[in-house]
Amino acid sequence: MLAFTLRRAIQAIGVMIAVGIISFSMFRFAGDPVNQIVSIDTSAAERADIRKVREVITKATGKPPRGWLGPGLTETWETPDVLVEEGYDYVADWVLDDQPVWLKTRGKSILNVPYTQECNDVAMMLIQHHKASEYCERALDQFDQIYDDAADSARIMAMAVHPYIMGAPHRAKYFRRIFETIRKKHDVLFWTGEQIVEWFLGAGPKAP
């Protein structure tokens, strides 16, 4: 997950924008299930899948993933519990706020990092069939509001992106335009999901 964070000059917290895209040089990997079927029959099967993902990413990158995104944002009643028990620090399945939120589990709490269904290229391009420029327009409209909201507290702007969708030649320029526009703001930071977590652990409320 890529994230870019808006931070108003002296006001320590700022705004963050999370983008679901992978680059070997810039971004940290987050876990996504080996089994992409949205229903898991048993907690043992879910744990095995979560554990397998961690093992595969650790072997490939040399570092275990700290974050998790479920298939279609789905979870069982036990998913946050299992994630914590298997060593994950954050999850992005809960589309409920523009700020990180602590979720209680049967063990220690896990942090939810904001995600989106509004600026999501699967929904917009493949399901709703919007024209290519709509993604850019919606993202920048969202950015304007969140940037204003960040005047006195942190915000995260999430963008869900898949290279085979927004990376298509007729869409790429619109995706590029989003970044070209946002980067003109001097108080915008581009962060990974892990960086958002580290920032929040230092600046946000403590886990319950």
Mean pLDDT score, 52-65: 90
Q: Is residue 25 within 8 Å of residue 34, measured between CB atoms? A: no
Q: Does the pLDDT of residue 199 top 70, yes or no?
A: yes
Task: Quote the tokens at residue 114.
Answer: 């904001």
Gap between the Cα atoms of 154 and 194, Å rounded: 16
Selected from 3.20.20.370, 1.10.238.10, 3.40.640.10, 3.90.850.10, the CATH number assigned to the domain covering 2-203 reads 3.20.20.370
- pLDDT of residue 120 exceeding 60, the answer is yes
CB atoms within 10 A of CB 103: 19
Environment class of residue 109 by beta-carbon count within 10 Å: exposed (0-12), middle (13-18) or buried (19+)?
middle
Query: What is the pLDDT averaged over residues 69-95?
Result: 91
Q: Cα(3)–Cα(162) distance, rounded to whole angstroms?
A: 14
Give pLDDT tens digits for 20-52. Answer: 433 333 345 554 555 545 455 567 888 998 999
pTM, full prediction: 0.80
Q: Is the pLDDT of residue 6 over 60?
A: no
Reply yes or no on whether the pLDDT at 5 is more than 50: no
Q: What pLDDT score does 190 carry?
A: 84
- What is the DSSP secondary-structure string of 103-137? E--SSS-EEEPP--SSSBHIIIIIIS---THHHHH
Alpha carbon distance 205, 199 (integer Å): 11
Supply the pLDDT for residue 193.
87
Q: What pLDDT was estimated at residue 39?
A: 52
132-191 pLDDT, tens digit per residue, is: 999 999 999 999 999 999 988 888 998 889 999 999 999 999 999 999 999 999 888 888
- What is the token pair recorded at 192? 């990974």
